[in-house]
Amino acid sequence: MGYGQHASTQSRGPLRSLLSWVFYIVVIVGLVWLVQTFVVCPYTIPSGSMEDTIEVGDNVWSEKITYYFRDIEQGDIVTFDDPEIAGRTLIKRVIATGGQTVDLIDGVVYVDGEPLDEPYTQGKPSEPLKTASDVDISYPYTVPDGYIWVMGDNRTSSADSRYFGPIPVSSVSGRAAMIYWPLDHIGVL
């Protein structure tokens, strides 16, 4: 009987080890999901629409905690659901929030009649764009409540609210907080 108990104990060792590994993997995957859902999520920048602030290929942390405590503000760089392609995330700068009026005059952005000081655009003009087929925008444009107006910093190469209109606040997934890769681009946004 002592021999049979010993064999049984040995056979439980690998099973117990396997179950421990499965448990740890489930816990780690669960923690990653919780962090990405409620705290911070990484994104890789696929286009030049935010140059020179964020370059193609930069990896950015988009944090979610800020918007638990305050509303989205003008100047924030946000990640949000692409209004045209399901499952794709875009990143742009908030130019105006609900109730504010946007106008584009001679390449300058005006919000509520005041020209914006936008050094991040590197002097690129902010001209109206041909809109998406289901979008009708005329300037001056008042952003509806519950929406924000977003534009890329690279105004000559950005499909943004000038193209697809204002985006719902509910589509915002976070505030871009920092570039974490590549090493020579690391910095707070």
Give the catalytic positions in this structure.
49, 92
Q: What is the rounded end-to-end Cα distance, in angstroms, of the chain?
A: 69
Identity of the residue numbered 149:
W
State both tokens at 138.
Answer: 């005329």
Q: Return d(Cα 76, Cα 168) in angstroms, integer.
A: 15
Q: Return d(Cα 165, Cα 83) in angstroms, integer.
A: 9
Smallest CA-to-CA distance from 177 within 79, 94, 64, 61 is with: 61
For residue 15, what is the enclosing H or E element? Answer: helix 2-38
CA angle 97/98/100 to nearest 5° reads 75
Identity of the residue numbered 113:
G
